Amino acid sequence: MSDAAVHTGSQMKLYGCPTCGRVSQLLRPPAGDAPLLCPRCATPLHHRRPRSLQRTWAYLIAASILYIPANLLPIMSTSNVFEGETLHTILGGIEELRHGGDWMLALIVFIASIAVPLLKIGALLVLAITAQRRSRWKQVERAQLYRMIEAVGHWSMLDVFVVVLLVGTIRFGALGGVMPEPGLLAFGAVVVLTMLAAGSFDPRLIWPEEEDKDRPS
């Protein structure tokens, strides 16, 4: 079925309520600047999430900035009575695993901690830029990309889970232990910010429509 054979909600002036799910049709524009509300639960109605792109850009820029200290600063420190304190970065940990012969574990940590956050930032940049330009380039593929970003979101927290687990279980008092370091906070912030960026992005922006002249979306 072609796009021309299907009327969109915007063209039919239909509004779906994000809270109660009721679909309402706008028969005439509301008076003045009165907000358009759901007749059942009074939730504000919009064809698009308000300021979706602005919030996506804000979270995305913050995540891109924090990605640098997340990989340069140590994420944890280990200490024992023989070697004293040792600081560990994500890249250093991957290198140690590789030297120790744990290729598979090193590969998993590299994918979860380095590749996935970087690819998520790159994919969100593509979505934000093309939506900003109201592009119609590869819309189906971009929708699939958006669903993939949402699916892998929390799996990037592997390092955070591992360090929290180590800090909670390895405690030998004065003999040794594991402590989180600032890099872990930056890394966790990158993961959370990319999840917020994906959650703020309105996938309907992938299919730009003519502006609703009766109601700004």
DSSP H or E stretch at residue 107: helix 103-110
pLDDT tens-place string over residues 120-162 = 899 999 999 999 998 888 889 999 999 888 887 666 666 666 6
Distance CA 201, CA 206 (A): 10
pLDDT of residue 115: 86
Distance CA 108, CA 56 (A): 28
Q: Is the pLDDT of residue 8 over 90?
A: no
Q: Is the pLDDT of residue 215 over 60?
A: no
pTM (predicted TM-score): 0.77
pLDDT tens-place string over residues 163-192 = 666 665 556 556 666 777 888 888 889 888
pLDDT of residue 212: 45
